Amino acid sequence: MRVELLLKRRQAKAEKLMWGGCVASRPGIPFTDPDGIVTTPVETAYEGACKVQTTVAQAASPIAGGHVFTVENLQMHFPVATALETGDSVLMVTHRSDPTLIGRVFRLVELARGDQRTAARWNVELVTA
């Protein structure tokens, strides 16, 4: 019981360090209207606190279709019980200390799973032109 209490306290401390506010979304179920137009709605999967963390200062600069862009590999932290999925998009809407993060869109790539985590730590990609 003591370990559970300690874990809950550390989870609360980790959430206090999540200075960003974000909205995570994913494609919903496509539907076809009477005119035959297929629409895929966007569903909000999560809205709340988050944190961006650098993992390795290494970015890739691939070329596609004649365009050069940069892919940064970062990590985003969310509260533990957040039900996010690989491929979800996360829009940073607020940040207490770094306004350059506002408006950035991150793609969730991989969750670092574990059973006694203080945060849900996702590897993410940030693509910039």
Could you tell me the pLDDT band of residue 12, with boundaries at 50, 70 and 90? very high
Domains of the chain and CATH, by start: 2-128 (2.40.10.270)
Q: Report which of 42, 18, 28, 26 is spatially closest to residue 92, judged by C-alpha positions.
A: 18
- The helix (run of H) or strand (run of E) holding residue 42 is strand 42-60
pLDDT at residue number 109? 95
Q: With bands split at pLDDT 50, 70 and 90, how would you rate the model's confidence at 72? A: confident
What's the whole-number mean pLDDT along residues 57-74?
69
